Amino acid sequence: MKNILARGGIEFLAVLLGITSSLWIDNNKKLADIESERIVVHQILSDEIESIIDYTSERIEYYNKQDSTIDYLYNNWEKFNSQMIDDPFQFTYDIFTTGTYMFSPNLSTFDALKSDGRFNLIDIDIRKNFGELFMLLEYINKIETNENQAREVLLEYLSKNHSEIQYKYPYQQAGANAKFENYLVVLEKTKDDKTVWALLGRKCGLTKSRNSRVEWFMEILASIQGDLKSTIRV
């Protein structure tokens, strides 16, 4: 009887150890699979961040030129002469445009990873940095919206209060005489109007505010990229 019980106990322990071992192996396999997927996700994000860094670098290069143009205009406002500008079209573009050089990095990969839940595989500290990045981008977009609105206020003011000058030097209207760079001439002819100075300052101030925050955006990108690459190497 004792032998039977002993043999039964051994068989029970063997079954228990077998189940435990099987569960341990399954658990380790799941952990290994999760770790493997985590590394894959980090690599996907690293590649995407690299593309966004390239895009942001191009934008910053233009924004730096734009800042220089704005500074030149305001530092020489009283003696500004549109005829002395080497490239009046590009100068006007830097001062006038809002839509073409808006900051719009492609975030489709991040959206896809968040949609399928894999974004949660990212290390928590990196996720926090991404949160800061997305919040900053949202703020940049708000600045750009305000910048565009400020430009429209200026254009409306010029149309209402300096229509004769705008008629003589058309820059937006249809017709063969309209030239984009005439916008500079209109600014030159209205520079004694302090409201023009103030409204343009509002628009250009928002432009420079966006530009400086894109540089901050780049710093966060570089930090995230460094963290991602270190986890991939591990």
pLDDT tens, residue by residue, 183-213: 999 999 999 999 999 999 999 999 999 999 9
Helix ranges (DSSP H) in 76-123? 88-96, 108-115
Task: Using the predicted structure, report yes or no on whether residue 32 has a pLDDT greater than 90.
Answer: no
Lowest-pLDDT choice from 38-47, 124-133, 155-164: 38-47
pLDDT-derived band at 5 (thresholds 50, 70, 90) equals very low
The alpha carbon of 56 is separated from its chain's Cα centroid by a whole number of angstroms, namely 7
Instruction: Please report the pLDDT score of residue 110 as a whole number.
Output: 85
Q: How far is it, in rounded angstroms, from Cα 48 to Cα 159?
A: 45
> CA 102, CA 122: separation in Å to the nearest integer?
29
Q: What is the reported pTM? A: 0.81
Could you tell me the pLDDT band of residue 24, with boundaries at 50, 70 and 90? Answer: very low
| 19, pLDDT greater than 80 | no
List pLDDT tens digits, range 57-102.
999 999 999 999 999 999 999 998 988 899 999 999 999 988 888 9
- With a cut of 60, say whether residue 23 has pLDDT above it: no
Residue with tokens 């500079």: 184
Query: Residue 60, exposed/middle/buried by CB under 10 A (0-12, 13-18, 19+)?
Result: middle
Q: What range does the domain containing 70 cover?
A: 2-233
Work out the mean pLDDT of the chain and round it to a whole number: 85
- Domains: count for the chain: 1
Mean pLDDT of 119-133: 87
Tens of pLDDT, residues 221-233: 999 999 888 876 6
Q: CA of 98: how far to CAs of 38, 147, 152, 183, 224, in Å?
A: 39, 7, 10, 14, 29
**What does the pLDDT look like over 143-175, one tens digit per residue?**
999 999 999 999 999 999 999 999 999 987 666
Q: C-alpha 217: how far from its chain's center?
A: 6
Q: What is the pLDDT of residue 139?
A: 97
Choice between 199 and 22, residue whose per-residue pLDDT is larger: 199
Q: Of the ranges 64-73, 118-127, 131-140, which one carries the lowest mean pLDDT score?
A: 118-127
Helices 2-75 and 88-96, axial angle in degrees (round to 10): 130
Residue with tokens 């420079």: 208
Binning pLDDT at 50, 70 and 90, where does residue 115 land?
confident
- Cα angle: 38, vertex 123, 113; to 5 degrees: 55
How far CA 78 is from CA of 73, 83, 159, 163, in Å, comes to 9, 14, 22, 22
Q: Residue 213 contacts by C-beta under 8 Å, 6 or more apart in sequence?
A: 136, 139, 140, 143
